Structures are given as structure tokens and as C-alpha cells.
Amino acid sequence: MSLKLTNTLTGRKEAFQSIQKGKVSIYCCGVTVYDLCHIGHARSYIVWDVLRRYLIWNGYSVTFVQNFTDIDDKILNRAAEENTTMSEVSERNIKEFHKDMDNLGILRPDKMPRATKCLDQIRSMISQLERKGAAYSTDGDVYFAVMKHKGYGKLSGRDLAKQQLNADGRITDKEKERKQNPFDFALWKGVKNNEPSFPSPWGDGRPGWHIECSAMVLQELGETIDIHLGGADLVFPHHENEMAQSEIATGKKLANYWLHNGMVNVGGKKMSKSIGNFTTIRALLKDGLSAMTVRLFILQAHYRKPIDFTPKALNAAASGWNRLNEALCLGNSDYEALNWPKTTLQKNHQKNKLSSESLGEECNLIRQRFVDALNDDLNTSAAVAVLFDLARPLKSISNKIQRGNIKLIPKAEAQKNYSRWLTLVQLASVLGLEGEPIEESTEGSKLNPNLNEIKQAIKERNAAKLAKDFEAADRIREALKDKGIELVDKGGGVTDWIRI
């Protein structure tokens, strides 16, 4: 396997090599469970789902760990607003998280540790940092001394002298007074009034944000892992701090590869609750957008680049998914004209690589283009383009059969088409794109008109043309085009159509 990944730690694209042959350990920073997940979470977890799927497809045994932050000021604030408890807020939102991720077709992690279930490891790690002189306590609070890590700043490339102190607003005035260095950060926070707390050698309290992930990595995967994942907004300070404390505590490198996905903008502006452009996954799907359309929208951009979330972009993704979906579902159709073996969209087509002999030269070349794309720093945009190339002739066949232009495809051509379909199904599954029954598509007739609706629109357009109402005829044509249907006027007043 010649997979290359852009390592944030080095700033270079590097050939991937796992610590243990045939095995890959991955830690992905998870959500703080105080609210529903948003489109930014979807972007991150979809692309890392593809990385995981691709590694598995290439024969690796992957252990994928993703945490829940269930101790945090945001959770406590939400609990106070709702007059409930931190635990109740966390439990509710953990359940909602699973619903959203399942709906998006994201594979569940192998392990999902919670900060509240990792307190022994957290306390042990802080004690170890104290013994090594990298942590100090003050009246029940414990801080990490950033200057004790000689390489501090190597992940983010930032010079502390040039950083704006407390840019994220997490440091209180009390903390500033107690710190030896303004950039030292809390490992343990002493108990506050009316807040849940846990026992520790430094008094009752709760862990700081950064130490939670360090402890969960160590507890679930060990001292050094293959890949550490997260959004670009976590590089500093979270991942920088996580790396520093872990490497001092263990004396080992925390991760060999650090991967970060780009942010989501909404209409060209950074997504933020404060300016009202915040969109949850739940709201998107409730509004009628299919999960596969969301996946396609996300995967049509390279994971490291920002992505702009706009109605126009979503409509384009919906139209694109309709075209792909029609080709993916072709094998589930009852079209006798296909002349294919009796089959359905079986999962075994997706899990196992099809043999080169069964595919033929053309499909093998196409599959290699797909592999080359994902090997090049997980270039899902190029991989999606390969799927569209595979789907195009299959969609054309579907159009012709629906119009009655094909009675029976010759056996040699049918076998070639069948190989194309098998290849498409398998490669699409590597991206987590699964065919949705067209008659049950969540976009419905609004974005995916069925045959009767198309025929009725053509009939109405012909009537408008006979009445010389050409503006109405043009409106019908454009309305169909917006839904992915292109009308083709032929001689003798005949109008054909194709899905575009």
C-alpha cells in the first residue's frame, strides 16, 4: 500500500507505515456532549470514516477510538439552564450523537471512552507529570508547565511569545494569578460551588480538557499510536497541549501522524451560533436532505480544505447523488433488458475486493485510478470523480431502458456493464456511499422525479408549446433541468429525456 498522508507535525505529505504490521491504531477527538452535532462534526467524522474504511479495505486491522468529553463548562452551563444534571445532559446527547452518526452511515468506533470513566488514568498521569517536574499544584488546582516540554509549539508551529493569551476564553482571572507562566494550562481544577466533583490527591475537583484525551489515548491504545485525528481548530491549543503532556508523561512520541480536516463555512462566513448560521445534522436531514447527499457534499472537497455550505452547493450535491444512486440501484432493478445475473446489492460485493480476473481490464484501470486518488492524501474529490465516470454509462442504460429504447443488451456488453456496476458498488462503499431505493429516496419527487412525473411534465410542456405559451414551456424545461432531467427534442414532435 502506498498511502501518503499530510502530517500536520511535519507539514509534509508522508508515506504511511503503521507501527505494527497489518494493524493501525487511531484516536479521533470526539464531541463535548452538551448539544446536537452540527455540519462541522459531519465534515470531520465523514472524512475520518472514509480513512478508516479505506484502511480496512486494504487489509488492515484498525482499532478506532473516539472519545466523549462529558465533563466541561458547556455541559454544566446547559445543565444549569435546564435545571438538570451534567450526567443527564451528557447521556441524552450521547444517544443523539449515535443517531446522527448512524444516519450518516458512519461506522461506530471500536471504543468510545468517556472522561468520567477514565479518572484513574487521568489522576495517574497528572501524578506522573508532577514527579517529573512538569506539573505544579496551587490550592487544589494543578497546572502543566509548558516550558518543561522543549518541543512545545512543534505541532502548531506557534511561538508563545506571539500568541494572544486566553483567546478561547477558558482561563479565569483566578487561574492567571496562580500560574507560573501565562500559557500554563489546567490539568486538574479544584471544586467549585454547586458543581459535580471527583476525589483526587489535590482535593476534590475535575480534570482539565487536554489531560482527558491524553489519558484516554493511553488507556485505550497505549503510549504511541499511529494516527491522531481532529479538526484544524484543535491543533492549538488542544492537540499541542495533549502532545506536550503525553510525551513528558510517557517519554514516548504520542502519535506518528497527525491529521486535521478543514473548517466549514456557511455562505463564505465561519459557522458560528453567535451569528446565526449554525446548522445541525438533525435539521438538515429533517428538511429532506438525504444522508448520502450530505456525504457526497462533504467528500467532493479535499478534507484539508475549507468547505462552503450553501443551498446551491447542497442542490448540486443532491443532483449528483441522484445520478450516482440511479447507477448504484441498477442491479436491484427488474430490468430484463440488462441481461445480468439475478442479483441484488449484496454486502459481500462491498466488503471484499473483487478479483482482477472478474473485472476485466477496463474496470481494473478505473479501480486503480480510485486507489491512486485515495493514496494521494485521501483525495476523495478525485475518487468521487471516478465513481461518476463509472456511473455515467450505467445511468445512460437505465434511461434507455426506462424509455423503452432497449429490448435486450447483447451478452458481451451486458457482462461489461455488470462488471462496471460491481466495481461502482464496491468503490462507492469505500466512501460510505450506499444506494438508496429510488422510490423511497428522502429527496422525494422534489429532487428525484419518477418516470410518471417526467412524462406528465413533458405532456404539459407539449400542451404549452401547442398553445404557443413558450415561456411556460421553457419554465417546465428549466424546472426539470434543476431536478437533473434534460429534455431532448427530436423530429416529429417527439421529446426524449436523460438524467444529467
- The series of mean pLDDT values per 10 residues for the chain, 500 residues long, is 94 98 98 95 97 97 98 93 95 97 97 97 98 96 95 90 59 73 94 91 96 98 98 96 98 98 89 75 91 97 95 91 92 82 52 63 93 98 97 88 81 89 95 81 48 86 89 90 81 74
Rounded Cα–Cα distance for residues 420 and 393 (Å): 9
pLDDT confidence of residue 440: 42
Q: What is the pLDDT of residue 212?
A: 98
The per-residue pLDDT for 430 is: 97
Residue 62: per-residue pLDDT: 98
- Tell me the residue length of the chain: 500
- Domain boundaries along the sequence of the chain: 4-275, 321-440, 449-499
- Per-residue pLDDT, 441: 40
The predicted pLDDT at position 164 comes to: 59
Pairing of strands 12-15, 23-28: unpaired
Q: Which CATH architecture has domain 4-275?
A: 3-Layer(aba) Sandwich (3.40)
Residues 44, 379: Cα–Cα separation, whole Å? 15
Give residue 349's pLDDT. Answer: 46
Give the pLDDT score at 167. 55
